[in-house]
Structure 1
Amino acid sequence: MYDLDPAGTVVKLQKFCKAARDAGHHWAWSDTCCIDRPDVVEFDVSHHSMFIWYHRSALIIVYLSDVPSSSKSGALANSAWNTRAWSIPELLAPKVIIFYQADWTLYLDDRSRNHKEPVSIIQELEHSTGLNARALLAFRPGMRDAEEKLQWASTRVTARDEDVAYSLFGIFGIHIPIIYGEGRQKALGRLLTGDHSPFGRHHGP
């Protein structure tokens, strides 16, 4: 990795691996390059496993490419990362998370071993995401409070409409097929009913 020319995405991966190594870890996994997206089976498995992988990880590193060094409190809330639907499981699942700024310095120069500990960062996340501190610190997946969980993702940015629902697989603790093209409403309907059919539930004869 470190022998590669430091250009483009390679630089990010090199910095990511260094941050993981400096934190005392010998192995690192990045969704930037560790998912073979053209492989339909691997892509599906990765989508459904992401929450569990995040939860079981020793550390989640979040790179805020649009947050400059020496930023003030509030920069994380305004980051593009904080607008994406897929950021919700990245934030809720892990026990330990560290935020890095664009130059790979620690957000707010906070040297805590876990950025879920400083009150200032938790309050910033609470205000910007609508998630309460209890969920941020000790979230448990499940169908309970479904409406509130849907609201977490409803206004967030996704590459595809269906990802509003698919990003919540781990949040709801549910496994349904990924069917791009079914549309946002059908995907959300299947998420809430646990329906594995691409056509939705059918009632009557």
Structure 2
Amino acid sequence: MKCRRVYFISGLAADERVFRHIRLPEGVEMVHLNWITPKKDESLPDYAMRLSEKIDASEPFALVGLSFGGMLATEIAKRFRPVQTVLISSIPLSAHLPKYFRAAAAIRLHKVIPIGFVKMMARSKRFFTRETGEDKKLILQIIQDSDTHFIRWAMHAILTWKNEELPEQLMHIHGTRDEVLPGRLTTPTHMIPKAGHLLVMTEPKKVNNLLAEVVGN
């Protein structure tokens, strides 16, 4: 089934700028579901439902979620049943979280670790990734602009997320060198060789070709 609108949800500590290289076929609208302020102790599914209020479900649509955004997309898909749910560098089931995530949750590390340290590590990592110089600068700016309180909430939401239901129409794009959410721990439908977590920026042509399949063009 063709759709004329695709909703995008970015990853943690990121925004719509990470999709700067994504191009949909002519006539297909790209709509970003930008972050809203989470409520105190709000769960990931509850936040997803509030974020989904921006979706026009009166006509067929597709849903794309990057990393943390893919977890939200999975929850939204339970309610709206999009034509296709596309996860990029993400996981559809909470059981696919790496064990070290669960170890961090067990000792409540996410509650005490300074978010400034988290940002510093994210910035340092850019020296070892494959993005272009221009994209690296953009990513550094995105990290700098990210909201500390949102990151703290999202870390807790991820570590306490419970989901055992796969979206009905699922395309799952993952890189073989994803170091954040390793592909071997989940069940992607499409593996991109040598791509890391931010393949949406390093392998945009491959992602665009797959998205073109989703919208039926």
TM-score relative to the length of structure 1: 0.27
Decide which structure has greater strand share: 2
**Structure with the greater relative contact order (CA < 8 A, sep ≥ 6): 1 or 2?**
2
Larger-Rg structure: 1
TM-score (norm 2): 0.26
